[in-house]
A and B are shown apart, each in its own frame.
Chain A
C-alpha cells in the first residue's frame, strides 16, 4: 500500500511538473563577450572593441602642450592642440574601416580592423583577436617636395585582449610601424624606418558608465634617438550615445605609428599632457 501511495504521489508530481513553467534556459550561453573596452581607442592605442554593423563613430581627439609649462602655459593648454578628427564605420560586426585627419603634419590616415577571434562567455574562445592596419600620408604644404610614396607611413598591429571579469579587461598588441621617410634632426641621430612596439592596455570598470583605463607602448628593439615610450592614463565616461575620455598622455599623436616614433616626453618622469576624446556613435541602419 505504501508503494502505491508513493507512486500516486510521484504521478501527481509528474503532472504538476508538466503543468508548471518550463525551465528558462539561455539561448546562447557561450555567446560573444561584449564591451571588452568602451570604444575603438583608449587615448591613442586601438582596442579590440569594434563597431557593430551599420554603426558610425565620429571621434574628435585632442591633446595640448606638456603640463610642465605650469601656470604660464596653463599647464600646456595655451600651447595649442593637436587634433585628430576621425570617422569609423562597421561594414560588418567583424570588419571596420575608418578615416582620420591629424592637425600635425596634416596627416590623413586610413584604417581597417578585422576581427578573427571573439572571446566567448564560457571561454570556448578565451581571447578576442583583431588585426589592424593603418596607412597615413602627410599632406601639409611643406611636404610637397616629397613624392606621395615618400610621404606614406604605415602601422600593422595584432590586438589580443581578454575580458577577465565584468570589471577588468586587458590587451596586448604587438605592432610594427614603417615610415617611408624619416627626418634626421641631428647628425648623430639614430634613425629607423621600421620600429616595433608592444602595446599594453587595460580597463577597470567602475560602473556601467565610468571606467579607468591605461595604455603603455614600449618600443621593442631599435629606437629612434631621443624618443620615449608612450603611456596614458584615462578616465572614461559614457553618457547615452557619447563616450568622453579625459586623460594624461605622454605622446603627442593619436596614431600608433607616430606614438612609437615621435613621443618625446616620459610619462613616468613625470611629464605628460592633458587631452580628451569625444566619441559619438550613430546607428545608420
Chain B
C-alpha cells in the first residue's frame, strides 16, 4: 500500500511539474504577406495552435493550412493547390528557446528559438526572433520570419500570369493560457 501511495504521488508530482509551466493557445493568428508586382496581399488564419513548456523550453506550433484565407476564393484555391494541402495539411514548428525568459517579469522580452519548420513535406532548421510577455491573461507570443518558398520546394503560384515573390513574410501572434495541472 505504501508503494502504491508513493507511486501515485510520483506520478502526480511529475505530471504537476510538467504541466506547471506549460501554456497552450487560447487564440492564435498567423499571417503571411505576399508581394506580386503592383499588388500586395495577405493571408490570415485564426487557427494557430501552440504549446510552450517553459521548463523544457520547448515551443510547438502548427496550423491547418486549409484555414488560410486571403479574402479571394480563386487565390485561396490556387494557394491550396500550390501548397498541396490535401497531401500536406499542416505547417508546423517544433523547437527550443535558446535565450533566457523570465516568467516573473511582465515586460516584453526578446527571445530566439531554434527548431524545425515543416511545410509542404519539407523540413528545414530555422532560427526565429520573437517576443514573449507574461500577462495577466496568459503568455503572449509574437514572432516573424521570412519563408523562402524554394527552400520547401513550393513553386510560387502564378496569379494573373504574374509570379508571386519567392520570399513570404510570416508573422504569428498568439495568447497562450496555462495548462491546468
CB of A241, distance to nearest CB on chain B (Å)? 7
Q: Give the residue among B10, B49, B74 with the most A Cβ atoms within 10 A.
A: B74
Q: 4 nearest interchain CB pairs? A: A52-B73, A7-B7, A27-B64, A27-B47
Q: How far is the CA of A90 from the CA of B71 in the complex (A)?
A: 12
> Using Cβ atoms and an 8 Å threshold, which residues of chain B touch A240?
158
Given A11-B11, A22-B62, A283-B159, CB of A208 within 8 Å of CB of B75 = no
A53 lies within 8 A of B90 (CB): no
Is B106 an interface residue, CB under 8 A from the partner? Answer: no
| A28 & B67 in contact (Cβ 8 Å cutoff) | yes
Could you show 13 A-B contacts with beta carbons less than 8 Å apart?
Answer: A3-B3, A4-B7, A14-B15, A15-B14, A21-B94, A28-B67, A31-B66, A35-B77, A54-B71, A241-B78, A283-B75, A283-B159, A283-B160
Q: Mark interface residues in B55-91 (1 if CB within 8 Å of A CB, else 0).
A: 0101010111011000111111110010000000110
**Inter-chain contacts of B51 with A (CB < 8 A):** 22
Interface string of B137-181 (1 = CB under 8 A from A): 000000000000000000000111100000000000000000000
Given the known interface contacts A26-B64, A283-B159, the answer about A11 and B10 at a Cβ–Cβ threshold of 8 Å is yes
Chain B hits for A285, CB < 8 A: 71-72
Residue A34 at the chain B interface, CB threshold 8 Å: yes
CB contacts (< 8 Å) of A90 on chain B: these are: 73
Residues of A within 8 A of B31 (CB): none
Most buried by A among B6, B14, B90: B14
B53 touches A53 (CB 8 A): no
Which residues of chain B have C-beta atoms less than 8 A from A25's C-beta? 49
Asked whether any CB of chain A lies closer than 8 Å to the CB of B127, the reply is no
A93 interface contact, C-beta 8 A: yes
In the complex, how many angstroms separate the beta carbon of B55 from the nearest chain A beta carbon? 9
Which A residues touch B60, using CB under 8 A? 21-22
A122 on the B face (CB < 8 A): no
Least Cβ distance of B117 to chain A in Å? 13
Name A222-240 residues within 8 Å CB distance of B: 240
List which B1-58 residues lie within 8 A (CB) of chain A. Answer: 3-4, 6-8, 10-11, 14-15, 18-19, 22, 45, 47, 49, 51, 53, 56, 58
Residues of A within 8 A of B74 (CB): 51-52, 54-55, 241, 281-283
A interface bracket (residues with beta carbon within 8 Å of B) = 35 or more
- Shortest CB distance A2–B (Å): 9
CA distance A241 to B74 in the complex (A): 9
Instruction: Write the A93-111 contact mask toward B (1 if CB under 8 angstroms, else 0).
Output: 1000000000000000000
User: B72 to A28, Cβ gap below 8 A?
Assistant: no
Give the docked Cα–Cα distance between A35 and B66 (Å): 14
Shortest CB–CB separation between residue B103 and chain A, in angstroms?
17
B92, CB-defined interface residue at 8 Å: yes
Q: Do A24 and B62 touch (CB < 8 A)?
A: yes
A3 x B10 contact (CB < 8 A): no
Decide: A34 and B77 in contact? CB cutoff 8 A.
yes
Question: In the complex, what residues of A have CB within 8 A of residue B11's CB?
Answer: 7, 10-11, 14
- Which B residues are in CB contact (< 8 Å) with A26? 64, 66, 89
Closest Cβ of chain A to B42, distance in Å, is 12
Partner of A18, one of B19, B73, B158: B19
A11 touches B73 (CB 8 A): no
A148 close to chain B: CB less than 8 A: no
Most chain A beta-carbon contacts within 10 A, residue among B22, B45, B77, B92: B77
CB distance from B27 to the nearest CB of A (A): 13
